[in-house]
């Protein structure tokens, strides 16, 4: 059976910011995305580090589809709309939760 991440609905969930796109930061971002948070901002001031972290998150979500843990349309929504890579702290202004994983 396929499980799917809950569709994003307004149940009081807020945007989340994760500072640091290394191993720990990407794992935290993946967890929030899988839990259905509306937007997860992954921040790293290093451009290469941010690209690497974004790639790790994308591959993890695509892996969920391959393992039939997530429906493809849900994964596409996560990757294209809910994951927000950034290098600007200003982008975290909408976040109700910010986690530092540096």
What's the per-residue H, E or C state across 7-58?
CCCCCCCCEEEEECCCHHHHHHHHHHHHCCCCCEEEECCCHHHHHHHHHHHH
pLDDT tens-digit profile, the chain (102 residues): 455 555 555 556 799 999 999 999 999 999 999 999 999 999 999 999 999 999 999 999 999 999 999 999 999 999 999 999 999 999 999 999 999 999
Instruction: Return all residues near 73 (Cβ < 8 A) that are at least 6 apart.
Output: none
**For residue range 59-84, what is the model confidence (pLDDT) as tens digits?**
999 999 999 999 999 999 999 999 99
pLDDT of residue 6: 54
Residues near 60 by Cβ (< 8 Å), separated by ≥ 6?
A: 26, 30
The pTM is what?
0.87
């Amino acid at each position: 059976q396929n499980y799917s991440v809950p569709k994003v609905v307004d149940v009081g969930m807020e945007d989340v910011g994760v500072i640091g796109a290394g191993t720990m930061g990407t794992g935290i971002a993946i967890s929030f995305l899988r839990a259905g948070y509306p937007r997860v901002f992954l921040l790293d001031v290093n451009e290469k580090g941010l690209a690497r972290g974004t790639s790790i998150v994308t591959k993890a979500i695509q892996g969920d589809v391959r393992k039939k843990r997530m429906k493809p349309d849900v994964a596409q929504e996560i990757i294209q709309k809910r994951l927000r890579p950034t290098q600007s702290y200003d982008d975290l202004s909408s976040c109700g939760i910010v986690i530092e994983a540096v």
